C-alpha cells in the first residue's frame, strides 16, 4: 500500500514541477517581450463595462471613469473576430449606451463614450447585472454563442452600496458564463464587491480609495490580459481562432465551421445537408456558409431564398393584345372578360353579348367591348335590377306646375282642369269661372267646438274657392256670415270688387266661439244677405244665388223651416260638415240632388279636397247665370250674342245626338214581342 502512495506523490511532484516550469517559461517570455518592446495583443473576448452613474458620483469622478473606459478600449484588440466591447450605465434605471454589435471600430466606440450623460439617480447594481445577463450578453445584442467558448467578461465600477439585492443575480450571471470583475471606489463595501465578483476574489475584486487610483486597476487588468495571452506569445496551432484562458488557451472556429477532434483544425459545416437553409429550389454549400440557386427558367428573388419564374411577358415583345400570362420559360396570351382569342393566339375580338340573346334586357341591349348594358325607351326608367324598365311618372318626378291635376304619359305629362274650366294657353293654369256671375254667401260655423286653429283652416277653405271666381262689381259677389249663439254678417255682398281685397277681409274675420245656432244663421242669410239692401242683385236679373253652409256639429236650434225657405227662395244650398256634424241636418240643408250638394270630412285637415269639388260645382252654377245687361245695340254685344248663340246651338246639337243615340240603344234592347 505504501508503494502506490509513493508513486502518486512522485507524479504529483512531477505535475507541480511541470507547472512551475511552464509558469517560469511564461514569465521569461513576458520579461523578454517587455525588454524587446513588444506590444501586448489581447485575445478575443466579449467585454462589457457596467459603470455607476448615480447621484453620489461627482462630475469629475465620472470623467475619470469615462477616461478609464476609453483607455481600456484603446488597449484592447477590437474586431469582429477579436475583442467586442459594450457599455451600459446605471442608477435607478439602465441605459444601454452601445451593444456588442453596434460598433466595430475603436473611434466610433470612443466617440459614443464621450457623449454619455450621467443619469444621477439611485444605485440599482442588481438591476444592472440582471440586464447584462438577460440582454447585453445575448446573441441578438452581438455577443458570440457560448459554444465558441469566447470569454464573456463584465467590469462593474461602483462607488456605493447597492440599493437592491445583488448576491443571487450575480451568482446566476456567473453560472451563465459571465466572468465578473468588481471595482469599488471610496464608499463601496468589500462585502458587496465580493458578492458580485467571480472567484478567486483576489483576482476579481478591487477596492481603491478614490477615482484617481482607478488607473491601478487598469494596469493590473491589462497585465492580467497580457500575462494570459498565450495565443500571442506561443505557436498555438489554431487554424481559425485562439482563445486565451487563465494560464492556457483553446482553439475555436469561425461561424459556419466546426472544430475537428484534433482541437486545432476546423471543417466547414455543410449547412445545406442540415435542411434548415430555406432555399426554395437549390442549396449550394460553401465553407461555413451556403447560397441558394434556382432551376432553369427561374431567377433568384432579392430575399436570396425564393425563386420566381423568368417573366418573359415583362420583356415587352410578347405581342399579346390584352394579357400576357408568364409560365416557366414561356408565356401565353389571354383576353379580357368579354373577348375571345383569335386564331393567331395573340389578338382578341369583342364578344357581342347582346347578339347571344340571353342579356335579359327588357327594352334595349347596348353592346360594349367585353360587356353590355341595358337601356330603356324614352319615357321609361331603368329599374334597380339594371334589366327591366318602368314608366317614368313625370308628374311625381318634375315640377309640373299644373294648377288642378297632372296626368302622366310615357316620357311626358299634360295638365287638365275641372269641369266648367278651360286650360289656359300656358298649358298649366285653368281659367276662372267667368262666363257668367253669381251671388255667393258663405255661412261658417264660429262655435266653440271649432277651435281657433281650425277656424283658420275654414277661412283658408273660403279663400281657396274665391281664387277660382271672377270677383268684381259686375261679376261674382261674395258675402261671409259667421254664426255661433248669434249671427254676424262679416262681409256683405258686393263689398269687395277684387279677389285680393276679399281674401284680406276674410283673413281679418275674428273667431266668435260659443254655441251653434245653424237655423238662426239660415234665417239671417235669407232675410239679410240675399236682399238688395244686403248687396244682392235684383231677382229680375236672374243672377244665380248660392249659399254654402259650413258646420262642425249638431245645431242647437231647428233648421228645417229656414232650410226649406232658402231653397224655396231660389238659393242653391251646399252643406259642408266636418267632424261631429250631423248628416241628417246636412242633407236637409242641401239642394237636390242632395249627393251633389252635400259634403263631409272626418277632420279639418282634408277640407281642401271639398274646396276643389265645390269649385267645380260653383263654376257650373255660375255658368247657368246671365251676363250683365249691356247695350243690346253695341257691336260687341251683338258679336258676343252671336257667338254665345252658336255655342249653345252646338252644345244642344251634341246633347240631342247623344240623346238620340241613347234612344236607339234602348230600342235595340227591347224584346221583339214588346215592339
More confident residue, 265 or 42: 265
Measured on CA atoms in the order 529, 531, 532, 533, is the torsion positive or negative? Answer: negative
More confident residue, 526 or 430: 526
Q: Do residues 459 and 508 lie in contact, with contact meaning Cβ atoms separated by under 8 Å?
A: no
More confident residue, 432 or 423: 423
Number of alpha helices (DSSP H) and beta strands (DSSP E) in the chain: 18, 30
The three grid cell numbers given for residue 238, joined into one nine-digit string = 489554431
The three grid cell numbers given for residue 112, joined into one nine-digit string = 459614443
Considering 255-264, 433-442, 457-466, 652-661, the range whose residues carry the highest mean pLDDT is 457-466
Whether the predicted pLDDT of 10 surpasses 60: no
Return the pLDDT at 327: 80
Q: What is the mean pLDDT of residues 429-439?
A: 69
Whether the predicted pLDDT of 334 surpasses 60: yes
Return the pLDDT at 40: 62
Give 500-520 pLDDT, tens digit per residue: 999 999 999 999 988 999 999
Give 58-90 pLDDT, tens digit per residue: 888 888 889 989 988 998 889 888 889 999 999
Return the pLDDT at 654: 63
Q: What is the mean pLDDT of residues 632-651?
A: 56
Lowest mean pLDDT, pick from 27-36, 197-206, 301-310, 523-532: 27-36
Q: What is the mean pLDDT of residues 150-176?
A: 93
Tell me the C-alpha distance between 297 and 311, whole Å.
9
Kindly tell me the burial class for residue 330, based on how many C-beta atoms sit within 10 Å of its own C-beta (0-12, 13-18, 19 or more): exposed
Return the pLDDT at 231: 73
List all residues 6 or more positions away from 87 whose beta carbon is below 8 Å from its beta carbon: 48, 49, 51, 69, 97, 98, 109, 112, 113, 116
Count the residues in the chain.
Answer: 675
Average pLDDT score over the chain: 82
Beta strand residue intervals within 422-516, DSSP E: 439-445, 477-483, 487-491
The three grid cell numbers given for residue 244, joined into one nine-digit string = 486565451
More confident residue, 318 or 627: 318
Whether the predicted pLDDT of 4 surpasses 50: no
Place of cell 450605465: 89
Whether the predicted pLDDT of 487 surpasses 60: yes
Give 337-392 pLDDT, tens digit per residue: 778 899 999 999 888 888 877 888 999 999 887 788 999 988 888 999 999 998 88
Kindly tell me the burial class for residue 184, based on how many C-beta atoms sit within 10 Å of its own C-beta (0-12, 13-18, 19 or more): buried
Return the pLDDT at 625: 46
Percent of the chain with pLDDT over 90: 38
Tell me the C-alpha distance between 84 and 44, whole Å.
8
Question: pLDDT class for 246, splitting at 50, 70, 90?
Answer: low
Whether the predicted pLDDT of 5 surpasses 50: no
CA-wise closest residue to 68 among 154, 128, 155: 155
Lowest mean pLDDT, pick from 289-298, 484-493, 516-525, 618-627: 618-627
CA-wise closest residue to 586 among 604, 596, 574: 574
Return the pLDDT at 234: 59
Whether the predicted pLDDT of 228 surpasses 60: no
Lowest mean pLDDT, pick from 11-25, 452-466, 517-531: 11-25
Rg of the chain's alpha carbons, rounded to an integer?
60
Lowest mean pLDDT, pick from 83-92, 222-231, 630-639: 630-639
Amino acid at each position: 500500500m505504501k508503494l502506490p502512495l509513493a508513486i502518486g506523490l512522485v507524479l504529483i511532484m512531477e505535475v507541480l514541477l511541470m507547472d512551475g516550469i511552464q509558469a517560469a517559461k511564461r514569465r521569461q517570455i513576458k520579461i523578454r517581450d517587455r525588454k524587446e518592446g513588444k506590444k501586448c495583443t489581447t485575445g478575443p473576448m466579449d467585454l462589457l463595462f457596467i459603470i455607476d452613474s448615480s447621484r453620489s458620483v461627482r462630475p469629475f469622478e465620472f470623467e475619470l471613469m469615462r477616461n478609464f473606459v476609453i483607455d481600456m478600449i484603446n488597449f484592447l484588440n477590437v474586431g469582429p473576430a477579436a475583442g467586442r466591447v459594450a457599455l451600459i450605465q446605471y442608477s435607478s434605471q439602465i441605459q444601454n449606451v452601445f451593444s456588442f454589435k453596434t460598433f466595430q471600430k475603436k473611434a466610433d466606440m470612443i466617440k459614443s463614450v464621450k457623449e454619455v450623460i450621467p443619469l444621477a439617480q439611485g444605485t440599482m447594481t442588481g438591476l444592472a447585472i440582471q440586464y447584462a445577463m438577460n440582454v447585453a450578453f445575448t446573441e441578438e445584442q452581438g455577443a458570440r454563442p457560448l459554444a465558441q467558448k469566447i470569454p464573456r467578461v463584465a467590469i462593474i465600477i461602483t462607488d456605493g452600496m447597492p440599493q437592491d439585492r445583488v448576491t443571487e443575480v450575480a451568482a446566476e450571471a456567473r453560472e451563465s458564463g459571465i466572468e465578473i470583475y468588481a471595482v469599488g471606489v471610496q464608499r463601496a463595501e468589500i462585502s458587496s464587491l465580493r458578492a458580485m465578483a467571480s472567484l478567486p476574489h483576489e483576482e476579481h475584486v478591487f477596492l481603491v480609495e478614490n477615482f484617481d487610483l482607478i488607473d491601478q486597476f487598469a494596469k493590473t487588468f491589462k497585465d492580467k490580459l497580457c500575462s494570459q495571452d498565450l495565443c500571442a506569445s506561443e505557436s498555438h496551432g489554431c487554424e481559425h481562432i485562439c482563445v486565451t484562458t487563465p494560464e492556457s488557451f483553446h482553439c475555436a472556429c469561425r461561424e459556419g465551421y466546426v472544430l475537428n477532434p484534433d482541437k486545432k483544425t476546423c471543417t466547414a459545416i455543410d449547412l445545406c445537408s442540415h435542411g434548415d437553409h430555406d432555399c426554395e429550389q437549390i442549396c449550394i454549400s460553401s465553407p461555413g456558409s451556403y447560397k441558394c440557386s434556382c432551376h432553369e427558367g427561374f431567377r433568384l428573388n432579392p430575399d436570396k431564398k425564393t425563386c420566381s419564374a423568368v417573366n418573359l411577358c415583362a420583356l415587352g415583345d410578347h405581342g399579346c393584345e390584352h394579357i400576357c400570362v408568364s409560365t416557366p420559360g414561356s408565356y401565353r396570351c389571354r383576353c379580357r372578360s368579354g373577348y375571345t382569342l383569335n386564331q393567331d393566339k395573340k389578338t382578341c375580338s369583342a364578344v357581342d353579348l347582346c347578339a347571344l340573346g340571353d342579356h335579359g334586357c327588357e327594352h334595349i341591349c347596348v353592346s360594349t367591348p367585353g360587356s353590355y348594358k341595358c337601356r330603356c325607351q324614352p319615357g321609361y326608367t331603368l329599374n334597380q335590377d339594371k334589366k327591366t324598365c318602368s314608366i317614368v311618372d313625370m308628374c311625381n318626378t318634375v315640377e309640373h306646375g299644373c294648377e288642378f291635376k297632372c296626368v302622366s304619359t310615357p316620357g311626358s305629362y299634360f295638365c287638365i282642369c275641372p269641369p266648367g274650366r278651360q286650360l289656359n294657353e300656358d298649358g298649366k293654369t285653368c281659367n276662372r269661372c267667368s262666363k257668367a256671375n253669381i251671388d255667393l254667401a258663405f255661412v261658417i260655423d264660429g262655435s266653440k267646438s271649432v277651435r281657433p286653429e281650425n277656424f283658420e283652416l275654414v277661412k283658408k277653405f273660403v279663400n281657396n274657392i274665391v281664387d277660382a271666381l271672377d270677383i268684381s262689381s259686375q261679376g261674382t259677389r261674395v258675402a261671409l256670415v259667421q254664426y255661433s249663439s248669434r249671427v254676424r254678417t262679416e262681409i256683405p255682398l258686393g263689398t269687395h270688387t277684387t279677389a285680393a281685397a276679399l281674401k284680406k277681409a276674410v283673413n281679418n274675420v275674428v273667431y266668435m266661439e260659443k254655441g251653434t245656432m245653424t237655423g238662426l244663421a239660415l234665417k239671417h242669410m235669407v232675410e239679410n244677405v240675399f236682399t238688395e239692401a244686403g248687396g244682392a242683385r235684383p231677382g229680375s236679373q236672374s243672377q244665380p244665388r248660392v249659399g254654402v253652409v259650413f258646420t262642425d256639429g249638431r245645431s242647437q236650434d231647428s233648421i228645417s223651416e229656414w232650410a226649406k225657405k232658402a231653397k224655396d227662395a231660389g238659393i242653391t244650398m251646399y252643406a259642408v260638415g266636418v267632424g261631429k256634424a250631423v248628416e241628417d241636418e246636412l242633407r236637409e240643408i242641401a239642394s237636390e240632388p242632395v249627393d251633389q250638394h252635400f259634403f263631409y270630412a272626418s277632420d279639418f285637415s282634408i277640407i281642401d279636397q271639398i274646396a276643389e269639388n265645390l269649385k267645380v260645382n260653383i263654376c257650373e252654377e255660375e255658368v247657368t247665370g246671365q251676363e250683365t245687361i249691356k247695350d243690346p245695340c253695341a257691336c260687341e254685344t251683338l258679336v258676343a250674342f252671336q257667338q254665345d248663340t252658336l255655342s249653345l246651338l252646338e252644345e244642344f246639337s251634341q246633347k240631342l245626338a247623344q240623346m238620340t243615340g241613347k234612344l236607339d240603344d234602348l230600342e235595340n234592347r227591347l224584346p221583339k214581342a214588346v215592339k
